[in-house]
Amino acid sequence: MQKRAIATRHAVLAAAAEVFNRVGYVNAGLQEIINESRVTKGSLYFHFSSKEQLARAVIDEGCARLQTACSLQFDSRTPALEALIGISYAMIDPSNNDVLMLAAFRLLNEIGDFRGTGHVVFDQWTSTYRTLSARAVEEGDFRADIDPDEAGRLLLEMAFGTRLLSVATDTLTELPERMTTAWKVLLPGLVDGAKVDYFSQFAARRLSAFLVSA
């Protein structure tokens, strides 16, 4: 019974993501989600008491998948600035654009309080970006006068903002080039001149990898 309940919940989440991603939060109806998931109305309400609760569960699942996609960049052996660049590209990697992740980004924007079922989604990411920025200063890749909190917040705003705007304007295919442009503009203000070329090329190689695989 537990396996069946888990399977049903996953089916509802996947169907809800399809519907939310197709028509948006306001226009999505629970009956459409029931039809898409092929479960009974009772089964859906057993797991989710309302459309809002279901939408927030989709946000949780989509953000968990994003966290998993970025987790390879969190290795302490990876230089922090390379990790920050890697995270930004993992976030926009077309291979990570499954429907749950796409729906999560759309719902975060449309619901507007940027929460899943718990805390504000960006709280954890803010901590991650600040930690990596502080380490980038310690490792000598960020300039010594860089404030890690300010840099971390700026890079988080750049990475998530670029993606949210692309989702909102249906221009996901332009994401790799936009992210590369963002790094090209920001890097001269973050690193000493001698290192700008290296990290700009590091970001550009990520763009080339996307173009080859596209």
Q: Is the pLDDT of residue 198 over 60?
A: yes
Residue 13 located in a structural domain: no
93-109 residue pLDDT tens: 766 568 898 899 889 88
Return mean pLDDT, the chain: 88
Q: What percent of the chain has pLDDT over 70?
A: 94
131-160 residue pLDDT tens: 999 999 999 999 999 999 999 999 998 888
Residue 8 located in a structural domain: no
Coil, strand or helix at 50: coil
55-90 residue pLDDT tens: 999 999 998 888 888 887 777 788 999 999 988 888
Q: What is the DSSP letter of 95?
A: G
pLDDT at 210: 60
Q: Exposed e or buried b for every residue in 92-113, given b needs 16+ CB within 10 A?
A: bbeebeebbbbbbbbbbbebee
Q: Is the pLDDT of residue 30 over 90?
A: yes
**Which residues pair with residue 4 across a beta bridge?**
none
Residue 54 located in a structural domain: no
Q: How confident is the model at residue 125 (pLDDT cuts 50, 70, 90)?
A: confident
CATH code of residue 69: 1.10.357.10
Contacts of 115 (CB under 8 A, 6+ apart): 56, 59, 121
pLDDT at 170: 80
- Domain with 170, as residue range(s), is 59-213
Residue 152 located in a structural domain: yes
- 132/141 Cα distance (integer angstroms): 11
Q: Give Cα 158 distance to the centre of its chain.
A: 12
pLDDT top residue among 202 and 166: 202
Count of domains observed in the chain: 1
pLDDT at 29: 95
Q: Tokens representing 201?
A: 């090329």
Residue 28 located in a structural domain: no
Residue 5 located in a structural domain: no
pLDDT at 12: 95
Q: What is the pTM of this model?
A: 0.80
Residue 115 located in a structural domain: yes
Residue 114 located in a structural domain: yes
Q: Is 114 left (phi over 0), alpha (psi -120 to 50) or beta?
A: left
